Amino acid sequence: MSKLRLTALDAGPLSPDKNKLVAFAPGRVSVPTTVGVIEHEAHGLVLWDTGINHTVADPERGEAYWGAGLRDAFGAHGFTRAHAVDAQLERLGFKPADVRYVVYSHLHLDHAGGMSYFPGAVHVVQRDEIRYALWPDPWTRPVYCQNDFQDIRKLDILEVEGDFDLFDDGRMRLIRTPGHTPGHQALVLDLAHRGRICLAADVGHQRDGFDAMVPMPWDWSASAMSMTRMRMKQLERSGVPLFLCHDAGDFAKLPSAGAFWD
């Protein structure tokens, strides 16, 4: 059976008011934006999400790239060019051209910002998500940055519907988890020495909010999210640890800084 290796990158440190992540929560919080770098023995280098586009780090162009007020709202001023996923891959010894697949949990501006860095990859996204991202409802429009999608029609897009075993080998299994967005998905990895783990993206922004089933302000559907969270909690009860994209404690448990799990 094909082997996997995983390391994690923080491709978008943010410092928003916590109520941007968990409804009614007080105070401010510093959070990562987790990108998974997965080496698949048979299929090469796979990315799980792509973080924030490097343009956001530019004090002159960043505001216009995301839209007025969003850099301040999400506390993105600590994000630098060195945090962008292409720069971090190079520090790991990879070139953008080495990436064979890019798999998206969803297409919000902190997950799809690096889309254009990988023109030679296959880009994997739920069918509902890609359609909604290109014409979102007005109240969700700010978090779907259309500048991130400027090259989307030039890319090799693999649309999937529902749960999907990416390479039909049981190693990388996508689980459809709607709620935060219409086509949100999570990724279950089967690592030879660690067993199964789940990169759960934004089924919860913060662990306390997830555990308490508190809605997130940017959820597309609170009802769908409730069902998704119950499903994910059952996955966790079955022994599969979940790692939320923006929870600092979860990120700290993942291998990073050149370390890998296999």
pTM over 0.85: yes
Q: Which domains are assigned to the chain? A: 4-253 (3.60.15.10)
Residue 120 CA to residue 98 CA, distance in Å, equals 9
Tens digits of per-residue pLDDT, 124-138?
A: 999 999 999 999 999
Average pLDDT over all residues of the chain: 96
The pLDDT tens digits for 54-84 are 999 998 899 999 999 999 999 999 999 999 9
With cut-offs at 50, 70 and 90, classify the pLDDT of residue 1: low
Neighbours of 19 (CB within 10 A): 15
Residue 202: is its pLDDT beyond 80? yes
Q: What is the pLDDT of residues 205-218, one digit of tens each?
A: 999 999 999 988 88
Region 144-152: mean pLDDT is 98
Q: What's the whole-number mean pLDDT along residues 84-105?
A: 98
Whose tokens are 């949990």? That residue is 105
